[in-house]
Structure 1
Amino acid sequence: MKTFDQLSVIGLREWINLPELGMVGLRAKIDTGASTSTLHASDIQPFQRDGAQWIRFTAHLGTLVQSRHRCEAPVVSVKRIKSSNGQAQSRYVIRTNLVLGDRQWPVEFTLACRKTMRYRVLLGSKALIAGQLVVNPALTYVQNKPSLPSPSGAQ
């Protein structure tokens, strides 16, 4: 049996932060079947800043206690995504730093309405690969709840 010394183990659900967006203490569902990660967003409004395309949106935090957070981020791209129910839709893609446990790295998120879903954040396989993570689906919340690092990305 091979072991993965350089990889960290995470569970099916983990606590994350998105410090550049000012979002702390998000519960994320790990979805190895999804390529791209997804963040629940509404009121999505594209705009121009210094000749570049940006997006303004409302991120929804929590499932039992609803709170909202207004965010802005540069647009990386617009992707055509096929959801789990087979419907294709165009989604804006942003890139922001993700903190999980004691690690921080940039992750691309599509913005989509997930109001009927239990988890407001899905972490897809590209984020897991970039973070050098392996998933043990029998476990949950393996990593410590991250603290809020500086927005510059320094650890």
Structure 2
Amino acid sequence: MADRLMTGAEAPGFTLKDSTGKDVSLASRRGRSTIIYFYPAAATPGCTKQACDFRDSLASFQSAGYEVLGISPDPVDKLASFAEAESLSFPLLSDNDHAVAEAYGVWGEKKNYGRTYQGLIRSTIVVDPEGKVAVAQYNVRATGHVAKLRRDLKLDRQPAA
């Protein structure tokens, strides 16, 4: 497993296909804050809960100047079905070979039901407009994570519009 990113580190660049097959790069987000959340598998209960939480909070993230990108090792066609089924309006990116997950330190050993294997560790990285890591949260829970992130980014303290 690659080292985990620390606050202030340069966020590794990437270009990945989104659920429509279009290339999306981190470099194209330069000048804007970007929330990158890594999730293990589209259309599973935990990942669906987390994606829907991001969907439901998207307007408040965007009004505070944040864009949201979801990254998983799923193929583009599975991401397309997931985005359509859950009405997800932010990009879901396919990291099929998990190279980006490795660069971000979110690919590693997992244990589930007594089995040990290599897989994606649910994590969220916030990249500032200059391309530096502003927040790095590893081993997050699917349920409640978006609410915690909103608190950490102080979005819940802003007056309602």
TM beyond 0.5: no
The structure in which a higher percent of residues are strand is 1
**Range class of TM-score, shorter chain:** under 0.3
The structure in which a higher percent of residues are helix is 2
More RCO (CA 8 Å, sep 6+): 1
